[in-house]
Chain A
Amino acid sequence: MTELVQVVLNGLIIGSEYVLVAIGFTLIFGVMGVMNVAQADFYALGAFVMIWMCVNAGLGVVAGAILGSLSGLLFGVLYYFLVLSRLGEKDFFAAFIGSVGVSYFIENLLTSIVGSQGEAVPPLLPSTFHSWGGLLISDPQILLLAATLAISVGLLLVLKRTPFGRDIRAVSESRFLAAATGVNCRLVIIGSVAIASVIATIGGVLVSATTLTITPFSGGDVVLEMFVVAIVAGMGSVGGATIVGFGLGVIESMTVAYIGSSWEEVAGLLVLVVVLILRPQGLFGRQVRIG
């Protein structure tokens, strides 16, 4: 019995990674209608910035972690002004391809700089494993799980309870009507992109604290799960992305534990295809589909 719970717990931790990336992805899609493939690469960027801050700039680990997390703001806003703003409004397919290009650019630029083997991440917390009633969990993992829950609940609260969140929901439902009622759509979109990017970079910092390693293609590894989570949950649904993200982590963990590790990713893909065939708007999605 404890073995099952351990598997589920591991799944939740794996799922945290997916949740953090997918929340931002689905947020950007809800607000702009753009599928931002580069989201997963921001995740890797966050970890790399942290490494550079700690190793090259000589800052402490905590400072490096904070800066790494906040770097998402810079990257997100840059990305918006350079690429998204010129593409998103006109042509969603163009924005998708543009984001694929940005993703390719980021991954290969990182490879040029650090090589493709990856770098060791300075540990944020010591990886001592605790044993609670037979369940193993380490400090960084607790931090990751707690942070993920805090972020997703926090984001949901912001969306439901604050004026800015209301504006975000308005823009994602109908940009035209939101603008007509005086919402500053551009500001909302910039804000959403910034929030999404910061969540991604926080994810990168926290997850790499648990695995203690990061490669330029760590983002690419997560891209698929990001898509799966966002689409299965329904594009634009943050709460759904949280639930599905954890769920996917648990499914993958159980697949590895009980079926075999080589089928790990196929499980998620099967779920995606089945959901797309049976309920294309996603489990928690609205009836209307964009795209």
Chain B
Amino acid sequence: MFGFMSLYAQSIFVTGGIFAIATCGLYVTLAAGQTSVMTQALVGVGGYAAGYASVQWHQSFLLSLLLGAIAGAIVGAIVAFLLRKMSGMVLGVATIAIGQALSMIASNIPAIGGSLGYSGVSLETTINWVALFLVIALLVFTFLRRTHLGLALLAVGKEPAVAEALGISSTFVRVWAFAFGGVLTGLAGALQAHWLSVVEPTDLGFANEALIFMYLIVGGLSSPWGAALGAIGINWLLEALKFTGSDRFWILGILLVVVVLSRPQGIIPRRNLPAERKSLLHRKPRAPSLPVGVSIGD
């Protein structure tokens, strides 16, 4: 289906698409108000799970993808439960710490390759698979917003106190937010494992985490489509930079800062619920104006 693209272009799309899926996962977790800065670690978890499953247990491609996604979900849920009392930046820092810890634990376990990483995973991922899963991920979003769970996620993200008052258990939602994010990022990791044939512990570290946030922020925070676009776009940009022989990755750092500076509406995604969105199209009703000299309550 993508025959019109050269193999080189296809490989860019694959990398971009894999991270687009992971970024969508981050988007879900962030939309529920959970600052998760360990997306990269969950990608790695999915990658290790899928790689191990396909090499040691000889599972088929699709099954190892599933296992990668499930592994990501489980780890995400456990982390969410452990950190359920935290929120905001403290939660973010705790997730950074856990992500680094996972990276270090991975490099210390000889059974999965130790610091050299786990290699020998079969090369199965093609651009068709990536495109398929990306589309599925984006469609899942569209339908998720219409479910109770999806609305609960958004509610906790926008107004946690009100959501709690309405009886939505924020712990429940947090765990689900991380689990959902984990499913997608684990899936992305599994796809990556089958693309690169190797999973390295450094992949789980904080260094690549900044990139993922870049995709999300530059691509636009108000929808997962933006996240996907950001991932593919920036990967293309990275390749273009490498192609011109320069190693000017610091441009991306500037890009991130510039984007952050020029988004006065803030960083946290505020995905509007359907009812609210309609009202943005109409003017806000003005309070009835009183004639001068009259004050309320006289």
Contact = CB atoms under 8 A, between A and B. Distances in A.
The answer on A and B forming one complex is yes
A100 B92 contact: no
Contacts of A75: none
Nearest to A272: B97
A224 B100 contact: yes
Interface of A is mostly: helix
A266 B104 CA distance: 7
Contact of A263 (B90, B108, B253, B256): B108
A129 to B, nearest CB: 30
A277 B82 contact: yes
A62 to B, nearest CB: 31
Given A87-B261, A98-B261, A104-B210, A35 B250 contact: no
A184 to B, nearest CB: 24
A97 B256 contact: yes
A105 B254 contact: yes
Contacts of A224: 96-97, 100, 206
Interface string A257-289: 000001101100110110011001000000001
Contact of B89 (A262, A269, A291): A291
A112 B88 CA distance: 34
A37 to B, nearest CB: 9
A102 B250 CA distance: 9
Contacts of B97: 224, 227-228, 269, 272-273
A94 B267 contact: yes
Nearest to A281: B90
Interface size class of A (residues with CB under 8 A): 35 or more
A98 B266 contact: no
B260 interface: yes
Nearest to B252: A104
A58 interface: no
A265 B253 contact: no
Given A265-B104, A269-B101, A97 B94 contact: no
Contacts of B66: none
Nearest to A35: B89
B260 A266 contact: no
Given A266-B101, A273-B82, A93 B89 contact: yes
Contacts, number: 132
A105 B260 CA distance: 14
Contact of A227 (B82, B96, B108): B96
A98 B97 CA distance: 19
A257 B246 CA distance: 43
A202 interface: no
A10 interface: no
A220 B207 contact: yes
B89 A94 contact: no
A105 B257 contact: yes
A198 interface: no
Contact of A266 (B89, B105, B254): B105
Contacts of B253: 101-109
Contact of A93 (B83, B100, B249, B268): B268
Select the residue from B88, B101, B260 with max chain A CB neighbours within 10 A.
B260
Interface in A74-122: 83, 86-87, 90-94, 96-98, 100-109, 111-112
A63 B206 CA distance: 35
A91 B210 contact: no
With most chain B CB atoms within 10 A of its CB, the pick from A94, A101, A102, A107 is A101
Given A228-B97, A269-B101, A273-B82, A91 B257 contact: no
B93 interface: yes
Interface in B65-107: 82-83, 85-86, 88-90, 92-94, 96-98, 100-101, 104-105, 107
A231 interface: yes
B230 to A, nearest CB: 13
A270 B97 CA distance: 9
13 contacts: A87-B261, A91-B266, A94-B260, A100-B256, A101-B255, A109-B250, A224-B206, A227-B96, A227-B97, A263-B104, A263-B108, A265-B104, A273-B94
Interface of B: 35, 82-83, 85-86, 88-90, 92-94, 96-98, 100-101, 104-105, 107-108, 206-207, 210, 213-214, 217, 246-250, 252-257, 260-261, 263-264, 266-268
